């Protein structure tokens, strides 16, 4: 799977433009996902020097991303032809509607087969309906 991961507030506590304290189990979970051959994409607001610092911070903590703010490493960003939206199977971001679950819960959501209760809970998630449907009951 391709998994897009935000940096500030997700891998580390929000201290932009500084790098915040690492969130509990973030790097352990990301390393395990990489061991399972998932493609991790760093998907962040950061650019320039701040982006380079975030990439290097992750590298020093054992995470080498498949791509950074791109769908694939060779992608050349041209606003006229390329969307900034990253194509991924999962997006891990502290700005989700319900916020960032803990990294242990993220692991369970990605691996419902390893947790039978989570597998059923995932089937029952309301996100299978559109936001409009959930708000207006249609």
16 vs 95: CA distance, rounded Å = 15
pLDDT reported for residue 60: 98
Strands 67-68 and 39-42: what pairing? parallel
pLDDT reported for residue 122: 52
Q: What is the DSSP string of 53-118?
A: HHHHHHHHTT---SEESSSSTTPPP-TTT--SPPP-SEEE-TTSTT-PPPHHHHHHHH-GGG-HHH
75 vs 97: CA distance, rounded Å = 29
pLDDT reported for residue 50: 95
Superfamily name and number for 2-101: HAD superfamily/HAD-like (3.40.50.1000)
Q: Which residues pair with 41 in a beta bridge?
A: 4, 67
pLDDT reported for residue 130: 52
pLDDT reported for residue 21: 97
pLDDT reported for residue 116: 63
pLDDT reported for residue 117: 60
The residue extents of the domains of the chain are 2-101
Note down pLDDT in tens along the chain; length 138 residues: 999 999 999 999 999 999 999 999 999 999 999 999 999 999 999 989 999 999 999 999 999 999 999 988 888 877 666 667 789 999 999 998 788 888 888 888 888 777 666 555 555 555 545 555 556 665
Is residue 43 within 8 Å of residue 25, measured between CB atoms? no
pLDDT reported for residue 85: 79
């Amino acid at each position: 799977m391709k998994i897009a991961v935000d940096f500030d507030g997700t891998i580390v506590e929000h201290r932009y433009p500084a790098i915040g304290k690492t969130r509990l189990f973030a790097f352990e979970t990301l390393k395990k996902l990489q061991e399972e051959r998932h493609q991790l994409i760093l998907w962040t607001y950061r650019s320039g020097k701040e982006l380079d610092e975030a990439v290097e911070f992750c590298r020093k903590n054992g995470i080498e991303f498949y791509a950074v703010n791109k769908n694939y490493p060779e992608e050349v960003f041209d606003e006229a032809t390329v969307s900034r939206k990253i194509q991924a199977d999962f997006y891990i971001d502290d700005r989700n509607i319900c916020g960032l679950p803990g990294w242990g819960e993220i692991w369970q959501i990605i691996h419902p087969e390893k947790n039978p209760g989570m597998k059923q809970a995932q089937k029952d998630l309301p996100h299978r309906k559109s936001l409009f449907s959930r708000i207006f009951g249609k």
